[in-house]
Homo-oligomer: A and B are copies of this chain.
Amino acid sequence: MTEIEKISSEQLILEAAEQEFLTKGYDGARTISIAQKAGVTHAMLHYYYRTKRQLFECILAKTISTVKETMLAAMGDPDMPLVERLKDGIASHFDHMVANPLLPRFFLNEIISRPELYSLLYERVASFIREFFADLQSEADAAAERGEIEKIDIPMLIISIMSLNIFPFVAYHFIEPVMGTIIADREIFLEERKAENIELIMRRIIKH
A115 to chain B, nearest CB (A): 8
Known contacts A108-B170, A164-B160; A204/B193 CB under 8 A: no
Interface membership of A48, Cβ < 8 A: no
A192 interface residue (CB < 8 Å to B): yes
Q: Which of B160, B168, B199 contacts A159 (CB 8 A)?
A: B168
CB <8 Å contact, A196 and B160: yes
Q: Is A155 an interface residue (CB 8 A)?
A: yes
Which A112-150 residues have C-beta < 8 A from chain B?
Answer: 112-113, 118-119, 122, 126, 129
CB distance from A182 to the nearest CB of B (A): 5
Residue of B nearest to A183 (CB): B155
Q: Say if the beta carbon of A1 comes within 8 Å of chain B.
A: no
Range, interface on chain A: 35 or more
Choice from B27, B113, B167, B178 contacting A163 with Cβ under 8 Å: B167
User: A162–B156 contact, CB under 8 A?
Assistant: no
Contact check, B179 vs A159: say whether CB atoms are below 8 A apart.
yes
Question: Whose C-beta in chain B lies nearest to the C-beta of A181?
Answer: B155
A174 contacts B by Cβ under 8 Å:
yes
A171 within 8 A of B: yes
Nearest residue in B to A113 (C-beta to C-beta)?
A: B173
Contact in complex: A118, B168 (CB < 8 Å): no
- Those of A19-69 within 8 Å (CB) of chain B: 23-25, 27-28
**Does A166 contact B171, Cβ atoms closer than 8 Å?**
yes
14 contacts between A and B (CB under 8 A): A108-B170, A108-B171, A159-B167, A159-B168, A159-B175, A160-B164, A163-B163, A163-B166, A164-B164, A167-B170, A200-B203, A200-B204, A203-B203, A203-B208
Residues of A at the B interface (CB closer than 8 Å) are 23-25, 27-28, 105, 108-109, 112-113, 118-119, 122, 126, 129, 153, 155-156, 159-160, 162-164, 166-168, 170-171, 173-175, 177-179, 182, 192-193, 196-197, 199-200, 203-204, 208
